[in-house]
């Protein structure tokens, strides 16, 4: 059974790179050596591995990678730091139209 890894690298400029691979050590070496001049990490070396998650199903790994790429920097850092309480807070909807912030919805909840 193959293993798939979703990983986060911290670049020298402080940005994060998120990727997926089935050979984590080889992929990190590939990034560090700058094998691909067109890669995001090429001009941002040296790189530091900050996080990785192992998956047995490639589709789950791809889904998680795409999800992480949409996250804010704060959410990525909470994941890296293992701060799951902060991650939950950051994941909450803060949109003004969300039901929690709609006064009519709050009145309905109170009357139940």
Cβ partners under 8 Å of residue 50, min gap 6: 8, 9, 10, 16, 80
pLDDT at 72 over 90: yes
Complete domains list, the chain, with CATH: 1-70 (3.40.1440.10), 72-112 (no CATH)
pLDDT at 104 over 70: no
Tokens of 40: 């995001």
Average pLDDT over residues 65-83: 96
pLDDT at 101 over 90: no
Cβ partners under 8 Å of residue 76, min gap 6: 8, 16, 18, 68
Whose tokens are 């998680």? That residue is: 64
Kindly state the percentage of the chain with pLDDT values over 90: 76
Question: Higher pLDDT residue, 88 or 92?
Answer: 88
Task: Look at strands 4-10 and 16-21 and give their pairing.
Answer: antiparallel
Yes or no: say if 9 and 1 are a contact pair by the CB < 8 Å rule: no
Rounded CA gap, 50 and 65, in Å?
15
């Amino acid at each position: 059974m193959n293993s798939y890894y979703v990983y986060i690298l911290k670049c020298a400029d402080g940005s994060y790179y998120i990727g997926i691979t089935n050979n984590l050590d080889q992929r990190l070496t590939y990034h560090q050596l700058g094998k691909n001049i067109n890669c995001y990490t090429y001009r941002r070396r040296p790189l530091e591995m900050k996080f990785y998650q192992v998956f047995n199903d490639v589709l789950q790994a791809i889904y998680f990678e795409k999800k992480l790429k949409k996250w804010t920097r704060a959410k990525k850092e909470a994941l890296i730091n293992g701060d799951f309480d902060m991650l939950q807070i950051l994941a909450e909807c803060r949109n003004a139209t969300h039901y929690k912030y709609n006064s009519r919805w709050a009145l309905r909840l109170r009357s139940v």
